[in-house]
Protein backbone atom coordinates (compact mmCIF):
# COMPACT_ATOMS: atom_id res chain seq x y z
CA UNK A 1 0.00 0.00 0.00
CA UNK A 2 1.29 3.44 -0.89
CA UNK A 3 2.00 5.67 2.12
CA UNK A 4 2.37 9.32 3.04
CA UNK A 5 5.31 10.78 1.15
CA UNK A 6 5.09 8.30 -1.75
CA UNK A 7 4.18 9.43 -5.25
CA UNK A 8 0.97 8.41 -6.98
CA UNK A 9 1.87 6.20 -9.96
CA UNK A 10 0.40 6.98 -13.37
CA UNK A 11 -2.96 5.26 -13.72
CA UNK A 12 -6.15 5.17 -15.74
CA UNK A 13 -9.43 3.92 -14.27
CA UNK A 14 -13.15 3.84 -14.87
CA UNK A 15 -15.05 5.73 -12.17
CA UNK A 16 -18.17 4.26 -10.58
CA UNK A 17 -20.09 6.78 -12.71
CA UNK A 18 -18.72 5.04 -15.81
CA UNK A 19 -16.34 7.85 -16.82
CA UNK A 20 -12.74 7.15 -17.80
CA UNK A 21 -10.18 9.03 -15.71
CA UNK A 22 -6.48 9.37 -16.46
CA UNK A 23 -4.31 10.73 -13.67
CA UNK A 24 -2.14 12.48 -16.25
CA UNK A 25 -5.10 14.75 -17.07
CA UNK A 26 -4.80 16.52 -13.69
CA UNK A 27 -1.16 15.95 -12.73
CA UNK A 28 0.49 19.25 -11.76
CA UNK A 29 -2.89 21.03 -12.07
CA UNK A 30 -5.20 19.61 -9.40
CA UNK A 31 -5.02 17.74 -6.12
CA UNK A 32 -6.32 14.17 -6.06
CA UNK A 33 -8.70 12.32 -3.78
CA UNK A 34 -8.78 8.70 -4.92
CA UNK A 35 -11.15 6.16 -3.38
CA UNK A 36 -10.70 2.53 -4.38
CA UNK A 37 -13.58 0.24 -3.46
CA UNK A 38 -14.24 -3.47 -3.96
CA UNK A 39 -16.06 -4.39 -7.19
CA UNK A 40 -19.10 -5.71 -5.32
CA UNK A 41 -19.58 -2.34 -3.60
CA UNK A 42 -19.45 -0.42 -6.88
CA UNK A 43 -22.78 -1.85 -8.06
CA UNK A 44 -24.87 -0.37 -5.26
CA UNK A 45 -23.36 2.78 -3.74
CA UNK A 46 -23.36 2.65 0.03
CA UNK A 47 -23.74 5.45 2.51
CA UNK A 48 -20.07 6.45 2.33
CA UNK A 49 -19.99 6.69 -1.44
CA UNK A 50 -23.27 8.60 -1.54
CA UNK A 51 -21.93 11.11 1.02
CA UNK A 52 -18.73 11.50 -0.96
CA UNK A 53 -20.47 11.98 -4.31
CA UNK A 54 -22.86 14.52 -2.75
CA UNK A 55 -19.84 16.70 -1.86
CA UNK A 56 -18.18 16.48 -5.27
CA UNK A 57 -18.69 20.19 -6.00
CA UNK A 58 -16.88 21.07 -2.76
CA UNK A 59 -13.84 19.08 -3.88
CA UNK A 60 -13.95 20.81 -7.26
CA UNK A 61 -14.16 24.23 -5.57
CA UNK A 62 -10.98 23.37 -3.63
CA UNK A 63 -9.06 22.49 -6.82
CA UNK A 64 -9.29 18.73 -6.30
CA UNK A 65 -10.50 15.85 -8.39
CA UNK A 66 -12.40 13.21 -6.41
CA UNK A 67 -12.35 9.83 -8.15
CA UNK A 68 -14.17 6.74 -6.88
CA UNK A 69 -13.32 3.51 -8.68
CA UNK A 70 -13.49 -0.25 -8.37
CA UNK A 71 -10.57 -0.67 -10.80
CA UNK A 72 -7.14 -1.77 -9.67
CA UNK A 73 -4.63 1.02 -9.07
CA UNK A 74 -0.95 0.00 -8.64
CA UNK A 75 0.08 0.12 -4.98
CA UNK A 76 -3.43 0.65 -3.65
CA UNK A 77 -5.51 -2.22 -2.30
CA UNK A 78 -9.15 -1.36 -1.67
CA UNK A 79 -11.05 -0.32 0.20
CA UNK A 80 -8.66 2.58 0.44
CA UNK A 81 -8.43 6.34 0.10
CA UNK A 82 -5.45 8.42 -1.00
CA UNK A 83 -5.11 12.21 -0.97
CA UNK A 84 -2.25 13.66 -3.02
CA UNK A 85 -1.12 17.14 -3.96
CA UNK A 86 -0.99 18.37 -7.55
CA UNK A 87 2.53 16.92 -7.97
CA UNK A 88 1.45 13.46 -6.83
CA UNK A 89 2.89 13.45 -3.30
CA UNK A 90 0.60 11.51 -0.99
CA UNK A 91 -0.34 13.40 2.18
CA UNK A 92 -2.95 10.95 3.44
CA UNK A 93 -3.50 7.24 2.81
CA UNK A 94 -5.87 4.92 4.62
CA UNK A 95 -7.14 1.42 4.11
CA UNK A 96 -9.76 -0.55 5.98
CA UNK A 97 -11.88 -3.67 5.60
CA UNK A 98 -15.15 -1.71 5.25
CA UNK A 99 -15.86 1.15 2.83
CA UNK A 100 -18.00 3.01 5.38
CA UNK A 101 -15.01 3.07 7.77
CA UNK A 102 -12.77 5.02 5.36
CA UNK A 103 -11.73 8.61 6.06
CA UNK A 104 -14.91 10.70 6.17
CA UNK A 105 -15.75 13.10 3.31
CA UNK A 106 -15.44 15.96 5.81
CA UNK A 107 -11.90 14.90 6.75
CA UNK A 108 -11.00 14.47 3.08
CA UNK A 109 -12.16 18.03 2.43
CA UNK A 110 -9.96 19.15 5.33
CA UNK A 111 -6.97 17.41 3.70
CA UNK A 112 -7.68 19.14 0.39
CA UNK A 113 -8.04 22.47 2.19
CA UNK A 114 -4.66 21.85 3.83
CA UNK A 115 -3.10 21.22 0.41
CA UNK A 116 -4.46 24.49 -0.93
CA UNK A 117 -3.18 26.46 2.06
CA UNK A 118 0.19 24.90 2.78
CA UNK A 119 3.29 26.92 2.10
CA UNK A 120 6.28 25.09 0.56
CA UNK A 121 8.66 27.73 1.93
CA UNK A 122 7.33 27.10 5.43
CA UNK A 123 8.00 23.39 5.01
CA UNK A 124 11.66 23.94 4.19
CA UNK A 125 11.32 23.29 0.47
CA UNK A 126 12.61 26.71 -0.57
CA UNK A 127 16.17 26.89 -1.83
- Among 100, 44, 34, 103, which residue's Cα sits nearest to residue 71? 34
As a whole number, mean pLDDT of residues 57-84 equals 94
Instruction: Assess whether pLDDT exceeds 70 at residue 42.
Output: no
As a whole number, mean pLDDT of residues 1-26 equals 95
CATH classification (class only), 12-117: alpha beta
Q: What is the pLDDT of residue 108?
A: 98
Output the CA–CA distances (angstroms, integers) from residue 40 to 16, 81, 82, 102, in the order listed: 11, 17, 20, 16
- Mean residue pLDDT of the chain comes to 90
CA–CA separation, 55 and 58 (whole Å): 5
Q: What is the pLDDT of residue 39?
A: 77
As a whole number, mean pLDDT of residues 77-82 equals 92
In tens, the pLDDT along 83-127 reads 999 999 999 999 998 888 899 999 999 999 999 998 766 665 544
As a whole number, mean pLDDT of residues 16-23 equals 94
Indicate the pTM of the whole model. Answer: 0.90
Helices (H) and strands (E) in the chain, counts: 4, 6
As a whole number, mean pLDDT of residues 58-74 equals 95
Looking at the chain, the whole-number percentage of residues with pLDDT higher than 70 is 90
Amino acid sequence: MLQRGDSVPPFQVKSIRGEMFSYSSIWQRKNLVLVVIPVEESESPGTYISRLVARRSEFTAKNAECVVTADRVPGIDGPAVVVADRWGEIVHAATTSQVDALTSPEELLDWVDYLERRCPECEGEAK
